[in-house]
Chain A
């Protein structure tokens, strides 16, 4: 089973700042099969990024994904108030089980 470790667990930043969230895999993951999700309190998760770097239609361009192999990053260039949420990475390559990281909580400083 591929384990995804997200860091930091909690990130405290102010609106307008840049956020960098990390997702590290225990073994290599094809970039095609790495996605990022945003979850706000009381809501279902929402897909932001798939294929490690492709933004879903309608997602603002301040969100970007990068990485390959075992190291992936979600960057939010200039934080807006609505961006404060929990972010999860997920891998779904090869054989199951498909796994999520434990999440990074992005909170207002």
Chain B
């Protein structure tokens, strides 16, 4: 069955960096767009980045553009998010999800940006 497992969350100071990963299993990873979605505490969902199956199409929301970098390693069935220049308002649960329609989601990993 399809599984997505995020890792790499934690506590980081403002201005710091963190790298999240998402391991996919149970499907042909390279066939699918993959997305990162985040949810600040008590708030709604923000789909802030996605990458095509081949990696040649990438999108960032304005809120993270220039600070976050999405990438994937299809040989290892993994999706990554390099987060730099983190801000307090980046505090959220970060989810990875499959495809354009987000048909499968990981369980999420919490990123807390605080001094």
* Chain B interface residue bracket vs A: 10 to 19
* Chain A interface residue bracket vs B: 20 to 34
For residue A102, give the distance in angstroms from its CB to the closest CB of chain B. 5
Q: Which residues of B contact A50 (CB under 8 A)?
A: 101, 103
Are A35 and B47 in contact (CB-based, < 8 A)? no
A63 within 8 A of B: no
A55 to B101, CA, bound (A): 13
Interface string of A27-52 (1 = CB under 8 A from B): 00000000101010000111100100
* Cross-interface CB contact of A35 among B46, B62, B101, B108, cutoff 8 Å: B101
* Cross-interface CB contact of A100 among B47, B50, B100, B105, cutoff 8 Å: B47
Are B103 and A88 in contact (CB-based, < 8 A)? no
Are B59 and A47 in contact (CB-based, < 8 A)? no
**A44, A50, A100: most-surrounded residue (chain B CB, <10 A):** A44
A97 within 8 A of B: yes
Given the known A-B contacts A88-B45, A90-B47, A102-B44, are A96 and B105 also in contact in the complex, defined by CB atoms under 8 Å? Answer: no
Q: Which residues of B contact A98 (CB under 8 A)?
A: 47, 50
Are A45 and B105 in contact (CB-based, < 8 A)? yes
A65 within 8 A of B: no
Given the known A-B contacts A44-B95, A44-B106, A44-B108, are A88 and B47 also in contact in the complex, defined by CB atoms under 8 Å? Answer: no
For residue A54, give the distance in angstroms from its CB to the closest CB of chain B. 10
* Cross-interface CB contact of B47 among A46, A47, A56, A99, cutoff 8 Å: A99
For residue A30, give the distance in angstroms from its CB to the closest CB of chain B. 12
A88 to B47, CA, bound (A): 12
> Which chain B residue shows the least CB distance to A34?
B101
Mark A residues whose CB is within 8 Å of B: 35, 37, 39, 44-47, 50, 56, 88, 90, 92, 96-103
6 further contact pairs, Cβ within 8 A, besides A44-B108, A50-B103: A35-B102, A37-B102, A45-B102, A45-B105, A47-B102, A96-B61
Mark B residues whose CB is within 8 Å of A: 44-47, 50, 59, 61-62, 95, 100-108
The 3 lowest CB-CB distance pairs between A and B, nearest first, are A44-B105, A96-B59, A100-B45
